[in-house]
Structure 1
Amino acid sequence: MLGFLLRLLPFWVREPLLIAIGSVLGVRIMYLAVRDHDRVAAGLGVVFLVFTAIRVHAVIRALRARRNPSPTASADGTAVVAAAQPQAQAQAGTGSRPRPDTPEKEHNAWGQAVAAVAVFGALGAALWVGPRFMPSGDNAPKPASCSGGAHEELPKAYKNTPRPVTGEELCKALNRPDLAELLGTPEETATTASSTNNTAPLTDGKVAQPEAEVTFDTYTVNVSATYNELSTGQYVKLMKFGDEKDVKTLTVLGRPAVLSSDHTMKLEINLGSGGSGGPVGEGPLARTLSVALDRKDRGGYCDITVWSTSGALPNDSALLNIAEKVLPRIPERPAR
């Protein structure tokens, strides 16, 4: 059916169409054959290219016949002169134009067809070899993926806590593709991402406290969830007796929240003969957003902390934007 429809097309429509289809398919199939080392595909590609060469040869012959038409012959075999006799005599009087001594060399139709196939073959080779020598975007560093704590056995405190989030879940919620953009450094890529299923200190392992941390060149972001009985309101009152600075209460996604600043702890570990280590001073300043685990503030909170080694901090809006992305991934604490 398709062949019948193609035969209905005019010659100068059908042949260029067949040449275009044959060349594209031939080059593509040859490229795939070379890439996959498939001999069957290579043979099929050769068939398409040979078919294209034959069509190119036919078009070249048709163009040559149209450019140099042969004189019309009469019934007795003598050539019929198109011009009138007086006009021919006038032209004879003026004389014919001088022609070059050497006749014009005719082009070889098959040579042109082979040249066309060679051009398409060169294009196919360029498509195949080009990706090996051209720079690729795959050389860019890949962002860090969450690791650690994925296959650890959860402490007993997690089994006694209704619907607790795990460190791995926190890491997946925090390590978002747009986290660097939320921090104001969209050109950076996460270098490390980790998570743990810890318990809160000074609770004898009875309070679940999972956490996750993602590090960039500029900032480090830490998210933790503490499943204790301390409400955000009580937490704000305790800040009056601590070293927190720039305390600011607010509401995030309908939950009580508080912003505060405090220095991180700088640790030094001595692996010498003494094997001692411990805190030796204050680390860089960190900004923390603490949000209640539920709208009614029944107890427990989620901390989102950001700091940098240089001491620079992003705007508070960055912490709020991160909280709006992470908090929906943490189940609200049910009523007890």
Structure 2
Amino acid sequence: MESRRLGASGLNVPALSFGAGTFAGRGPLFGAWGTTDAQEARRLVEICLDAGVTLFDTADVYSDGASEEALGKAIRGRRDQVMLSTKTGLPLGEGPNDAGTSRSRLIKACEAALRRLGTDYIDLLQLHAYDAGTPVEEALSTLADLVRAGKVRYVGVSNFSGWQLMKSLAAAETYGHPRYVAHQVYYSLVGRDYEWELMPLGLDQGVGALVWSPLGWGRLTGRIRRGQPLPAQSRLHQTAEYGPPVTDEHLFAVVDALDSVAEETGKSVPQIAINWLLRQPTVSSVIIGARNEAQLRQNLGATGWTLAPEHLARLDAASHREAPYPYFPYYRQAGFARLNPPVRHATSARP
């Protein structure tokens, strides 16, 4: 498994990581993702480790903490072989301090995650969403305390906008707090909005992308085709309302391109969709999920080979959407493009 730096940090992570959202699935959303029990979870962890996948991602909101508990049990006796990533900040109750990233909430959430995961430190702790009610300085100083206490090694965020992330990075630099080295983002062939602002920011500031839902919320599994009904087993029946929207026209244009590349390469549609992501700037790791061993082995096959330039170009063209203002001038007006060259094929990052 290829190893990559996580942003501008010194931490190396595998190009593919495993998302434990399917572990112990409870409720309408996470139950539809998967209901992997403890025995199957341990088996999936074994397969990952054999393949060189050592980073495992979860969150306290996944099945109300049950995902963290299941992951903790699955890695028992192997803590020194894995890196654990978890997220906090989304609501876990109705109380006034049951959501957000205040000092009180972050300390409480970190201690609870450590207990559920059965460990004394978290390799990467990420804020699951921006909390407009808490000053960024308060969240950053609390994370700094957790790092100094040895309970957290690295810090990151998830689902931030560009200004939210940049404001946080500026405050970290001003006050000497640990910088966010990772941004867990939605990015896929049917959802390329990440490229408009967050990718240039990540490249400039040394923030690595951890990609969630690389198959477009289950749309790029290879089972959804133009003119055919949604497969009965598709999780989109239960979860479409929760995920990023995609028009049918755009989806099927991408699927048609994937099908043509699959026919020429002998690779599956999911493998091609994931491999395309691994070729993009700032992507440190793509988080793959799996309900069972067969799905996991299928996704692991996305590495160890490279799409040809003509295949990349075909997928780029099919998945392209015109960027909104103020990003579209980069494509339409030469003067803007000269000042702000595209970053899609850039390889450097802030040291």
* TM-score for the superposition, normalised by structure 1: 0.21
Name the structure with the higher strand share. 1
By relative contact order (CA 8 Å, sep 6+), the higher-ranking structure is 2
* Structure ID, larger Rg: 1
